[in-house]
């Protein structure tokens, strides 16, 4: 690792001013789980590291019924997993955060760092997209809010401006009677990162699906909304056959990536299966019993 200067701003305004004046020569440091690996491998060689750890306001997690959930960018994955606000109002997000990565990374890594790094093999972007989340970016000219699908641009690429800092993640209040399910598939039990994942939010009237949003991630460069599978489910009485058909349609709808961890055909097959199971689970159907 090369030598670098280390700055510790005390306020968000100070951090933005540092980032604006130092430009590309500086890197923001939240938990450091991604950044330090890059620096050790000399893939990233900042002259200055701006550590955000002193910005206590950016760790807060709060919920109110009008605006929904607000998560500070510096909240760690562990904070999300343990948060009473998340467990009560968006349990899918708490469930996801408790299972991703490993205890060391969950205790150190932040939600903001995860989103800004934009690694495709991650969990939070998929769950947040299904929940219609948005991000608040703070810069020298003020703040702007972007839907998460507009923030995540491509492989390791986001819409974050050179002088901006991700401040907060917002999730609208859940619709009454809605249910969220998050499923991740690992290639082997020893691996932490998902090879494919799926998040589903459905609104229900009994067994009838009145609205569905399905999002596939890790199998694609950036998470994608499976709109056709959602349209297929909407208005249907959900049975195991309907769940299986939704899975088949979703699998055909995505453009999967191929890499060393799995080719496109494998990923397509996996997302079809996990989508079927997630839809069945959302409607209380026993897909395990049906397979036995
Ligand atoms: C062994 C291992 C296993 C992992 N497994 C998983 C997994 O299963 N699922 C998963 O989702 N992820 C996984 N990850 C990734 C992990 O979630 C991220 O590394 C972590 O969340 C990044 O957060 P951080 O705070 O450490 O970011 P940092 O390393 O501090 O920063 C990452 C990048 O984001 C920028 N940045 C950070 N915060 C901000 C901000 N507020 N505004 C603007 N830019 C910012 C930094 O400049 C840097 O470019 C794993 C990582 C490791 C090392």
Instruction: Tell me the CATH number at 24.
Output: 3.30.43.10
User: Which of 150, 171, 192 is the C-terminal boundary of a domain?
Assistant: 171
44-53, 206-215, 270-279, 281-290: segment of lowest average pLDDT: 281-290
Q: Residue 2: pLDDT above 90?
A: no
Give per-residue pLDDT as tens, 130-150: 999 999 999 999 999 999 999
- Ligand 1 centroid vs 33 CA: distance in angstroms? 6
| Cα 132 from Cα 88, distance rounded (Å) | 18
Give per-residue pLDDT as tens, 15-68: 999 999 999 899 999 999 999 999 999 999 999 999 999 999 999 999 999 999
Atom of ligand 1 nearest to the CA of 192: 8
Confidence of residue 239 (pLDDT cuts 50, 70, 90): very high
| Ligand 1 mutation target, pool 28, 44, 185, most atoms within 8 A of CB | 28
Same domain, 43 and 60: no
Q: Residue 292: pLDDT above 80?
A: no
Give per-residue pLDDT as tens, 71-114: 999 999 999 999 999 999 999 999 999 999 999 999 999 999 99
**Domain limits at 256?**
178-285
Q: How many domains does the chain have?
A: 3
Residue nearest (by alpha carbon) to ligand 1 atom 32: 113
Same domain, 89 and 153: yes
Cut 0.85: pTM above it: yes
Q: Residue 253: pLDDT above 80?
A: yes
Model pLDDT, residue 291: 59
| Cα 263 from Cα 3, distance rounded (Å) | 39
Decide if 91 is inside a domain. yes
- Cβ atoms 129, 149 nearer than 8 A: yes
Q: What is the mean predicted confidence (pLDDT) over 270-286?
A: 96
Token pair listed for 94: 């708490």
| Cα 84 from Cα 80, distance rounded (Å) | 9
145-154, 180-189, 201-210: segment of lowest average pLDDT: 180-189
Same domain, 11 and 88: no
Token pair listed for 196: 């494919």
Same domain, 148 and 188: no
| Cα 292 from Cα 6, distance rounded (Å) | 58
Mean pLDDT taken over the chain? 95
Same domain, 207 and 231: yes
| Cα 254 from Cα 268, distance rounded (Å) | 8
Number of neighbouring beta carbons within 10 Å of residue 221: 18
Decide if 292 is inside a domain. no
Atom of ligand 1 nearest to the CA of 123: 11
Confidence of residue 287 (pLDDT cuts 50, 70, 90): confident
Q: Residue 125: pLDDT above 90?
A: yes
Decide if 290 is inside a domain. no
String of DSSP letters for 24-49: GGEEEESS-TTHHHHHHTTS---SEE
Same domain, 275 and 187: yes
User: Which of 123, 144, 171 is the C-terminal boundary of a domain?
Assistant: 171
């Amino acid at each position: 690792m090369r030598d670098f200067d280390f700055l510790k701003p005390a306020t968000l305004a100070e951090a933005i001013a540092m980032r604006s004046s130092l430009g590309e020569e500086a890197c923001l440091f939240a938990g450091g789980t991604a950044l330090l690996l890059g620096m050790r491998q000399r893939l990233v060689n900042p002259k200055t590291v701006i550590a955000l750890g002193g910005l206590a306001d950016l760790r807060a997690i709060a919920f109110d019924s009008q605006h929904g959930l607000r998560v500070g960018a510096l909240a760690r994955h562990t904070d999300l997993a343990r948060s009473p606000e998340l467990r009560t109002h968006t349990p899918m997000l708490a469930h996801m955060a408790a299972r991703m990565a490993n205890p060391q990374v969950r205790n150190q890594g932040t939600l903001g760092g995860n989103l800004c790094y934009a690694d495709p093999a991650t969990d939070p972007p998929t769950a947040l997209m299904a929940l219609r989340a948005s991000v608040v970016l703070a810069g020298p000219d003020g703040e702007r809010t972007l839907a998460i699908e507009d923030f995540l641009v491509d492989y390791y690429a986001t819409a974050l401006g050179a002088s901006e800092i991700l401040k907060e993640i917002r999730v609208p209040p859940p619709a009454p009677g809605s249910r969220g399910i998050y499923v991740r598939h690992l290639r082997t039990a020893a691996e932490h990162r998902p090879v494919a994942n799926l998040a589903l939010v459905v609104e229900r009237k009994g067994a009838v699906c009145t609205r569905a949003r399905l999002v596939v991630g890790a199998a694609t460069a950036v998470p994608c909304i499976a709109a056709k599978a959602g349209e297929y489910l909407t208005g249907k009485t959900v049975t195991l056959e309907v769940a299986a058909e939704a899975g088949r349609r979703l699998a055909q709808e995505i453009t999967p990536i191929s890499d060393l961890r799995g080719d496109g055909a494998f990923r397509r097959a996996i997302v079809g299966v996990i989508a079927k199971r997630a839809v069945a689970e959302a409607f209380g159907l026993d897909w395990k019993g049906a397979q036995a």
